[in-house]
Amino acid sequence: MRGGEIYEILDEHENVINENDPSAPRVGSRRTLRLKLDPAQYQKDLIAQQQAGADNPYTMFNIVMRRKAKVLF
């Protein structure tokens, strides 16, 4: 499991969706999420993948997303 930050959401025509402007046009129901991943963990994963001769884990993966951040005190 890896953590990441969603920095951009795109519609089917690759238009950036701005959640602060609900009146903005959105095309289709398919969305593309662009993530910022931890570069240190990404490097470790690629080295481990090369040593094991396995497939690249970053070519396709599932995302579990929380809409509102959970505040921890």
Q: What's the pLDDT tens digit per position in 17-68?
A: 887 777 777 888 888 888 888 888 888 888 988 898 887 777 777 777 766 6
Q: Measure CA of the first residue to CA of the last residue in the chain; give whole Å.
A: 23
pLDDT score of 32: 87
pLDDT score of 73: 63
Q: What's the 3-state SS for the chain?
A: CCCEEEEEEECCCCCECCCCCCCCCCCCCCCEEEEEECHHHHHHHHHHHHHHCCCCCCCCCCCCCCCCCCCCC
List the helix and strand counts (H, then E) for the chain: 1, 2
Indicate whether 70 pLDDT > 80: no
pLDDT score of 69: 65
Indicate whether 1 pLDDT > 70: no
pLDDT score of 64: 75
